[in-house]
Amino acid sequence: MKQRAVWLCLAVCVSCMSGCVERRFVITTSPPGAIVYDERHLPTGAAPTDREFTYYGKYRFTLVHDGFQTKVVEENVKPPWYEWIGLDFISENLIPWTIKDVRRFHYVLEPAQIVPEQAILEKAGLLRQKGQEIGEPLPVPFPEPGPPPGTLPQPVPIPQPGSGPTTPPRAMPGPPPGSGPTPPPPPVRVPQGGTGPAAPLPPIPVPQTGTAPMAPIPAPQPGTGTGTLRTAP
Q: What does the chain come to in residues?
A: 233
What CATH number matches the domain at 15-108, 1.10.3470, 3.30.565, 2.60.40, 1.10.10? 2.60.40
pTM of the model: 0.43
pLDDT of residue 81: 85
Give the per-residue pLDDT at 218.
59
Domain-wise residue ranges, the chain: 15-108
The HSE-up count of residue 142 (CA atoms within 13 Å, CB side) is 3
- Residues of the chain with pLDDT below 50 are 226-229, 231-233
pLDDT of residue 104: 92
pLDDT score recorded for residue 196: 55
Q: What is the pLDDT of residue 29?
A: 93
Whole-angstrom Cα distance, residue 67 to residue 120?
A: 19
Give pLDDT tens digits for 119-166.
Answer: 889 899 998 888 888 877 777 777 777 777 777 777 777 777 766 665
Task: Write down the pLDDT at residue 118.
Answer: 87
Pairwise CA distance, residues 50 & 29, whole Å: 12
pLDDT digits (tens, 9 = 90+) for 146-157: 777 777 777 777
Alpha helices (runs of H) in the chain, residue ranges in sequence order: 2-16, 87-89, 117-134
**pLDDT value of position 34:** 92
Q: Report the pLDDT value the prediction gives residue 83, as an integer from 0 to 100.
A: 79
- The C-alpha atoms of residue 143 and residue 138 are separated, in whole angstroms, by 15
